[in-house]
Chains A and B, each alone.
Chain A
Amino acid sequence: IIWLIRFILIQNRAGKTRLAKWYMQFDDDEKQKLIEEVHAVVTVRDAKHTNFVEFRNFKIIYRRYAGLYFCICVDVTDNNLAYLEGIHNFVEVLNEYFHNVCELDLVFNFYKVYTVVDEMFLAGEIRETSQTKVLKQLLMLQSLE
């Protein structure tokens, strides 16, 4: 058991991956399998359900925003509520950064989304939770382009 994030996924309802960040090493086939399984597990659930679901030996903590599912896979003993807050924090940063984020923003700027993830999570741990600090750093990075 480790208290680390195994992976972060953003998928739409159709199962298209919008972001896949892996903090454990999986081979390519395994990654695709995980993506499909998570999609199958998460999309069947609706609003009346809880935001977590057991998945293999782990659990998926997810939140749905419009047509997108933001999923974090962690150990079953880990703190569900903390990661739910983490997801929401992440979405708020995206919203601020892309000014009312929509799915297309994530598609056309997919590498920027990875930058946002990397600013907030690192090596499976939370790196920074302050939205202002993250946004400041993101703007600095953008100015370098």
Chain B
Amino acid sequence: MALKIVKGSIDRMFDKNLQDLVRGIRNHKEDEAKYISTCIDEIKQELKQDNIAVKANAVCKLTYLQMLGYDVSWAAFNIVEVMSSSKFTYKRIGYLAASQCFHESTDVIMLTTNQIRKDLSSPNQYDTGVALTGLSCFVTPDLARDLANDIMTLVSHGDCVKRKRCSVLIMYKVFLKYPESLRPAFPRLKEKLEDPDPGVQSAAVNVICELARRNPKNYLSLAPLFFKLMTSSTNNWVLIKIIKLFGALTPLEPRLGKKLIEPLTNLIHSTSAMSLLYECVNTVIAGQYCSSVGSVVLCVQKLRILIEDSDQNLKYLGLLAMSKILKTHPKSVQSHKDLILQCLDDKDESIRLRALDLLYGMVSKKNLMEIVKKLMLHVDKAEGTTYRDELLTKIIDICSQSNYQYITNFEWSVSQPVTPHPPGISVSWWTIRVFAVAQMATLLDNAHLLTGSMQRNGICEVLYAAAWICGEFSEHLENPLQTLEAMLRPKVATLPGHIQAVYVQNAAKLFATVLKSQEGNTDSTTAQETSQLMIDRLPLFVQSANLEVQERASCILQLVKYIQKLQQKDVEVAEEVIALFAGELNPVAPKAQKKVPVPEGLDLDAWINEPPSESESEDEQPKAIFAKEEPKHSRPRHTEVDEKELARRREARKQEQANNPFYIKASPSSQKVYQDAPGVEHIPVVQIDLSVPLKVPGLPMSDQYVKLEEERRQKERAEKKKKEKKKRKEKRSGRGKKHDSGPESEEDITPAHMVDIVTEEMPENALPSDDDDKDPNDPHKILSLHFFGPFQVVVSVIFENKCDSFLKSMEFNVLDSLNSKLQRPEGSGPHDGLTVPFQLPPGVSNEARFVFTVQSIVMPQKLKGTLTFIVKDSSTHEKLDFKLHFTCTSYLITTPCYSDAFAKLLESGDLKGSSVRLEGVNMPFHHLLARICFHHHFSVVERIDSCASMYSRSIQGHHVCLLVKTSGQTVSIDAKCDEPTLLGNVLDEIKQTFSQC
């Protein structure tokens, strides 16, 4: 043995320690993988030795390798060995390795349970410390279950503050892995919120905030406590957490918002910590405190300071928060437009992009021109960057948002070289097309200015539109020949194919126009020259690689050649050429399709093939597919008649669904859709002012428009004021109309964003859908326990004196459990009995009531108790033992439930299922049902033959649904409930009831 130890320590001298390994890796940069594989071989040898020091060294090296990305999972068992070393230095290495390498599927973890338990309860606080930190990393559901108690012991009885603090922090991880531990642990956790040690207190705040984040409504009762902490704590970290928590609570309890606004504004005023300031501002603007305009102004002021700061981080966050305020209080942000525009000069692109986003939302009819003008300056500065593209896209977005609702001056918009002009839009600008055409012609003429950089970005798309407009409306061109010439320049061949194609086609249209004007002249040579121009230039396009361009060009080329021949014979061809492109394109309103009558006999809603009848699909899982499609069907599409027809069908369908017990409806939210489907009618129609001169030579400067626009507005504003006065008078007289939709209301400069408040109408018997948006796969959902407790349960006890003696001084006492406690008057100890307030003569019975507090209703409880009394005649003390059985059933309340609500409940997917079989039940089905109703407080939802659905609800609002089926003497009950523990116990109790009969 001694020899072995000596041998071990000699070997050790040649082992690599961590330093050697690190150095070795650094020296083998070229063949690192090879070097490490030899190291791993060495480590494997070291792990085979008995010497724990060698093993620990090896494990330490492995941890380093693991960090570099090498697989060391094969050494899991050795890690456990090192963890269980009694020497702290090694133990620590073991725990570090475990926390880095272990995860839920590591099977040796189950070997560690006892070791961890030992370390948790070790008198040495450092052992406890490493065990807790390790556990926080690799805790599994099994470990959480087995060690929950040990951790609770540390929390409540730990003498060492550090230990207490760590164990509180780790509780959240335990709850996550083993949710059942939450309920019994919660009271103790709550106590820690008022722990004298600030460290323990902040740990408890952290954990409770995390819990409340999952399920805020159950923690509302803690609000006063947190409120106290918020006004008293000086720890910024704790304050941030509490403020975050309140942010989650206020949507549930709007009154909190009012209460919080004062301490929050105080903090905003007083704190020097930017993190805390930012949290407060963010919470204030989160929306619950909107009633107070003053606080929003304060927030905007503070954010301005952040944005003006030289620190990029503060600037960025300031802009981010600003954009949140913008949604609710656009006016207060709009006044800081200059500051935001300044941010466009920032060196950090993310800040510039944030500013751009903000500008997008800040645009109104009033400032659109100014903002776009500024942006255009930046476009010039940002030449040759991707940021420039972003800028251009933003400008286009800004101009076109909400269907061009902010553009009050379309002529200005047309003069902007980058605003998008898809042909369709130009057509709808019917009234200004003359102007547009002139602009576009200028644009085409100057296209070479744009072409330099335009391949990369969207600018060339504007040429696409320009060419089309000039071709289509060529009769409005001042100098069509010049434009035609511009369109056939060789440079055009560098444009993308689809644009060239449009160029070629529209050149032909222009050619027709030019011919017409020239043929009127006496000199026929000019017309022939034009044809020659076409014939000279078109071959360039015939050679194009783009099929479309090639095809169009060669067609037109042949046509022009033919025309030329005719021209040489002095035939007038212009009329015929023009006929090729005849037909005016009229503007089509977005809702025009509706006006097209549906041909007689065509019912677009009728099935072409008979749909499979729904009643046949019993065995299929009914899904919500049908209901989801409903809104699409029901959108008004055709004429009035169809609308009615649809309504009738919808009604019929609903009727059918209601009668079909197997039809499961979609959630209420999908039903409401058709009620407020957005109507096309709301698209704003823009009034166009034609008072400005129609012909503007060259590309006008956009600021000219700004000026014009400003003048026009002032004029209208003056008019509007007059009208408003009138309106006000009207209102006073009691007949004020809601809105006057004359042209001035169009001018009304409304905020850029409207907040739509859609109230959801819910059928009376619908189930609360507050869980709707929860992700069923969310691992944290398991913590969404209903935490209303503790509950008060009143138990009435009937005392009957069956003996012949007079009984007095009765005292009722119960041994409390963790879950259920007898309420005793203040000042009495936890084991004192309660005096029964009456005496009992022989043969008399009387009732007394006792109040119990119950933490959880999901488990049945049996409480042992004793009744002591004095028999009057003999004056002897007597004792009677009893048991109080709190069944889960007793927490259920008979609640009626309609079948559709019941179906919705089952469909919601929030309920967990369980089932039970009862054998040898020999009673009629209706007796069976009556028994369940009577003993277990259920109500029958629906009964079909030997099958019935039943419902009940717990005092905490758990839904319990049963499907009872019988065949012969076997009864099967399939049950669903949102609380599986409760369900299991209720089913056990039902089983009990029937086993007794």
Contact = CB atoms under 8 A, between A and B. Distances in A.
Q: Size band of the B side of the interface?
A: 35 or more
B45 interface: no
Contacts of B313: 50-52, 80-81, 84
A110 B64 CA distance: 7
B67 A125 contact: no
B489 to A, nearest CB: 42
B67 A17 contact: yes
Contacts of A110: 18, 63-64, 67
B317 A111 contact: no
B73 A49 contact: no
A17 B64 CA distance: 10
Given A108-B19, A111-B63, A111-B93, A79 B172 contact: no
B88 A144 contact: yes
Contacts of A48: 312, 347-348
Q: Size band of the A side of the interface?
A: 35 or more
Contact of B312 (A49, A141, A144): A49
A1 interface: yes
B348 A49 contact: yes
Given A80-B317, A81-B278, A144-B89, A3 B209 contact: yes
Contacts of B236: 82
Interface string B62-93: 01100111010100000000000000110011
B150 to A, nearest CB: 16
A35 interface: yes
A4 interface: yes
Interface stretch (A24-32, A65-73, A94-102): A24-32
A22 B240 contact: no
A20 B101 CA distance: 11
A122 B18 contact: no
A85 B275 contact: yes
A128 interface: yes
A16 B138 CA distance: 24
A91 interface: no
Contacts of B202: 126
B237 A81 contact: no
B804 to A, nearest CB: 66
B69 A35 contact: yes
A82 B210 CA distance: 17
Interface in A2-33: 2-4, 16-17, 19-20, 22-23, 25-28, 31-32
Contact of B317 (A81, A122, A123, A140): A81
A107 interface: yes
B530 to A, nearest CB: 56
Contacts of A127: 165-166, 169, 203
Contacts of A140: 126
A114 B722 CA distance: 75
Interface stretch (B129-137, B184-192, B291-299, B937-945): B129-137
A3 B279 CA distance: 13
Contacts of A128: 199
Nearest to A123: B136
A22 B275 contact: no
Interface in B45-71: 60, 63-64, 67-69, 71
Interface string A56-97: 000000000000000000000001111011000000000000
A139 B71 CA distance: 32
B213 A82 contact: no
B59 to A, nearest CB: 10
Given A17-B68, A48-B348, A111-B60, A3 B244 contact: yes
Contacts of B19: 108
Contacts of B100: 20, 22
Contacts of A28: 69, 71, 73
A123 B151 CA distance: 14
Contacts of A4: 210
Nearest to A118: B133
Contacts of B347: 48
B104 interface: yes
B103 interface: yes
Contacts of A16: 68
A140 to B, nearest CB: 8
A131 to B, nearest CB: 14
B433 interface: no
Contacts of B206: 125-126
Contacts of B88: 144
B213 A2 contact: yes
B132 A122 contact: yes
Nearest to B244: A3
A136 to B, nearest CB: 11
A122 B133 contact: yes
A122 B170 contact: yes
Nearest to B207: A125
B173 interface: yes
B237 A126 contact: yes
A3 B68 contact: no
B712 to A, nearest CB: 42
A3 B348 contact: no
Given A127-B169, A144-B126, A114 B18 contact: no
A115 B88 CA distance: 13
B22 interface: yes
Contacts of A137: 162
Contacts of A144: 88-89, 126
Contact of A3 (B136, B165, B213, B351): B213
A100 B202 CA distance: 31
A129 interface: yes
Contacts of B217: none
A81 B280 CA distance: 12
Contacts of A35: 69
Interface string B347-379: 110110000000000000000000000000000
A50 B348 contact: yes
A141 B162 CA distance: 14
Contacts of A50: 312-313, 315-316, 348, 350-351
A49 B347 CA distance: 8
Contacts of A114: 96
Contacts of B169: 122-123, 125, 127
Given A20-B67, A51-B312, 20 more contacts: A1-B213, A17-B67, A17-B68, A22-B137, A48-B312, A50-B312, A79-B278, A80-B317, A84-B275, A108-B22, A110-B63, A111-B60, A111-B92, A122-B170, A125-B203, A126-B202, A127-B166, A127-B169, A140-B126, A144-B126
22 contacts: A2-B213, A3-B209, A3-B213, A17-B67, A25-B104, A48-B312, A50-B316, A51-B312, A79-B278, A80-B275, A80-B278, A80-B313, A81-B274, A81-B275, A84-B275, A84-B313, A108-B18, A110-B18, A111-B60, A111-B96, A122-B170, A123-B169
Interface of B: 18-19, 22, 60, 63-64, 67-69, 71, 73, 88-89, 92-93, 96, 100, 103-104, 126, 132-133, 136-138, 162, 165-166, 169-170, 172-173, 199, 202-203, 206-207, 209-210, 213, 236-237, 240-241, 244, 273-276, 278-279, 312-317, 347-348, 350-351, 780
Closest 6 CB pairs of A and B: A81-B275, A123-B136, A82-B275, A118-B133, A50-B316, A48-B347
